[in-house]
Amino acid sequence: MLLKSPSFEAGDTIPTRYTCDGENVNPALELNDIPPDTRSLALIMDDPDAPAGTWTHWLVWDIAPGTNIAEKSEAGTMGINDFGTTNYQGPCPPIGIHRYFFRVYALDTTLELPTGSTREELLKAMEYHVIGSGELMGLYSHAS
């Protein structure tokens, strides 16, 4: 699967608009080469460089196959992130440059987890149902 964004190239800096220094809205994401047997998609955005370990910024599932995720949207059911909210929370590193991974998973089922489910609950529900995946990584640090 191919995951890309019209807002930034893989490996480039995520524009301020999509961070805590800007409007803090999700970037648009384009999904291509989705496996034909896909019933739903799930998305996890996280920061593996956070001081306390991997920090989850965004969880979404039961996204319809063939859906491109629009900027500032709710494309599916939202889970609770490590900020304690059920919406997108953009990059906001305490220090230095961090990597932010957007990962999309093609699933052979719909999950029907309730809004506010945790990352662990999402990963458990996805177990044995992932038939494809794609990844987009962007960088961000606070302006000095």
pLDDT tens profile 84-134 = 999 999 999 999 999 999 999 999 999 989 999 999 999 999 999 999 999
| Tokens coding 108 | 């052979």
Task: Give the mean pLDDT of the chain.
Answer: 95
| Tokens coding 57 | 């910024």
Domain boundary assignment for the chain: 2-117+129-140
pLDDT digits (tens, 9 = 90+) for 6-21: 999 999 999 999 999 9
Architecture of domain 2-117+129-140: Alpha-Beta Complex (3.90)
Check if the beta carbon of residue 140 is closer than 8 Å to that of residue 100.
yes
pLDDT digits (tens, 9 = 90+) for 54-65: 999 999 999 999
| Tokens coding 41 | 């998609």
